[in-house]
Amino acid sequence: MKFLALIAVAALSIVPAFADNTSPAGLWKNIDDETGKPKALIRISDNNGVLSGQIEKLFREPNEEQNPKCDKCDGARKDQPILGMTILSNLKKDGDEYAGGEILDPSNGKLYKSKLHLTDGGKKLSVRGYIGVPMLGRTQTWVRQE
C-alpha cells in the first residue's frame, strides 16, 4: 500500500514540470523591444481568471544597481524595490487574448493599458502596452521559461 502511495505522489509531482501552453500563467523572460536583450523574469499568475505578473529576477549589468527601486513610480510603488513588484494586473480573457489590464514600466514609472496573447504554440507571449488605443503603443515578446 505504501508503494502505491509513493507512486501516486511521484506521478503528481511530475505534472507541474509540464507547462500549460494554453495559458499565460508561468515564468516568462521579457525581451526589450528596443535593445533585443533580456530584461527580467516575470511570473504570471492566474487568480480565478484574472492575470497578474510579478518581477522575479532582473538582468542587470555588473556596474548597475542590482536591486533598484522604482524612483519614478507614483503612489504605493514610489521608491519600492522593483524585484518582487507587480507590473501586470487585471488582465482577463477576451477571445484569444487577455485584455482590460495594466502594465507598469518601472524604467519610467508609467502605467499603460495592456493586452497580451500567446504565440508560437504558447512558447512566446506578445505583450502590448498602450495609451488610449492599442495602435498607440509598443509590443514586447516574452519567452516562456518553464
Separation between Cα atoms, residue 56 and residue 41, nearest integer Å: 5
Q: What are the backbone dihedrals phi and psi of residue 78, each rounded to the nearest 5 degrees, phi first? A: -55, 125
Which domain covers residue 58, as residue numbers?
21-144
What does the pLDDT read at residue 19?
52
- pTM passes above 0.85: no
Residues 107-141 have pLDDT tens digits of 999 999 999 999 999 999 999 999 988 888 999 99
Residue 67 lies in a domain: yes
Cell of 77: 510603488
Q: What is the CATH number of the domain that holds 88?
A: 2.40.128.520
Q: Over the stretch 54-93, which tens digit does the pLDDT of each residue have?
A: 999 999 999 999 999 999 999 999 999 999 999 999 999 9
Residue 4 lies in a domain: no
Per-residue HEC secondary structure of 81-119 comes to ECCCCEEEEEEEEECCEEEEEEEEECCCCEEEEEEEEEE
Residue 34 placed within a domain: yes
Q: Indicate whether 49 belongs to any domain.
A: yes
Domain count, the chain: 1
Of 34 and 51, the structure prediction assigns the larger pLDDT to 51
